[in-house]
Structure 1
Amino acid sequence: MSTETEAEPLGWCVVANVVAETANGPGGLEIRAGVKRFPAGAKVWVLPPMWANDSDRLMAVGHHHGRGHRLVRVPVRRRHLTGFRVRMIYSPAVLRAIQRPARGQCRPWLWAGHAEAQEYAELWSHGRPLGVRPAV
């Protein structure tokens, strides 16, 4: 049973936080707090992988720190994210940002379920490439 104050779950998603400091520029000599579009510690919703040959970049949705904190969907290097975990999506605005059509996109970017999201959260937490599965 739900009351008017409880939000209905809209789906599962992998979430992470932006690391405190990132190395950028030639030789990684420029140290920044966070990344270009997200501040350090920001919570981002990580979408299912879309690039089979590029395990370093993940598409993420989060509140942009420079443009009125609106939700943006941008690629982020995996090394700039930490604390991968699986959570429910409760915000319709977050769901719209995840599902917003993109150029060349023919399917919505949603996780199939908790099990798939959990598998990738564990792989990314341990720094394994997308195509590598842990030994059973």
Structure 2
Amino acid sequence: MARETARGESGLGIQHGTKYFPANALLWLPPVRWDPGHGRWPAVGRHRGNGRRYVNMIVRADDLENFRVKGVYSEGLVRSLNGYDHDPAAPRILQNPWTRERAQSWADGRNQLREGILIDGQRQPRISVPNPPPAELHVGGEILHLAHYGTRGAHYSRMPPPMEWAPDT
């Protein structure tokens, strides 16, 4: 779970963790059985209010960071990850596990995630930039200037930044 998450109108409210998980909580992502919606994933972790039980929740992908591959040894965690497919006769067997190589490749791809951008208020899904974004971006023969960078990504403008006025002395 990310240390700070964006909430509220236009993502201007900063919150530590989410309503259900504290900041820096360890979450496990089970195999997806159904699509919870764009940018949302099922996750298993210890609830903010009760640190002993594992709970299944749907979380925003933007609220997750620092992906790692780790083994699962707890019976309670295996039960939560398996969900309805859990076999009580084999309490420590994870159903439909990924190979370590596949999981590591996926985690590495998420950790090196590039961010989408907005150009003059319009989302550009096919253009992405690294984090932190460059001050100038060359797209289609145009030079775009970084106008704002926040929790919702990089906002670029076709207008150059204003020049600072300095008094003549």
Q: Tell me the CA shift for residue 26 of structure 1.
A: 1.3
For 2:4, the equivalent position in structure 1 comes to 21
Distance 2:38 2:2 in 1: 18
Change over 3 Å in CA distance of 1:121–1:74 after alignment to 2: same
Q: State the identity %.
A: 36
Q: Which residue, out of 64, 69, 79, partners 1:81? A: 64
The 5 A counterparts of 1:61-76 are: 61-67=44-50, 69-76=52-59
CA RMSD after TM alignment: 2.6
Change over 3 Å in CA distance of 1:34–1:99 after alignment to 2: same
The 5 A counterparts of 1:1-136 are: 18-50=1-33, 54=37, 56-67=39-50, 69-101=52-84, 110-127=96-113
Q: Runs (4+) of structure 1 moved beyond 6 Å?
A: none
Specify the structure having the higher radius of gyration (Cα).
2
The answer to which structure, 1 or 2, has the higher relative contact order (CA under 8 A, 6+ apart) is: 1
Matched pairs, number: 107
Q: Tell me the CA shift for residue 97 of structure 1.
A: 0.7
Change over 3 Å in CA distance of 1:109–1:76 after alignment to 2: farther
Q: Tell me the CA shift for residue 119 of structure 1.
A: 2.0
Distance 1:53 1:100 in 2: 15
Residues 55-86 of structure 1: CA distance to partner in whole angstroms, max 9, x if unpaired? 62121100001245421111111111111011
In the alignment, structure 2 segments of 5+ residues that lack a partner are 86-93, 115-169
| Partners of 2:30 and 2:82 within 8 A in 1 | no
TM-score where L is the length of structure 2: 0.55
| Partners of 2:36 and 2:42 within 8 A in 1 | no
Distance 1:100 1:48 in 2: 10
Distance 2:52 2:14 in 1: 23
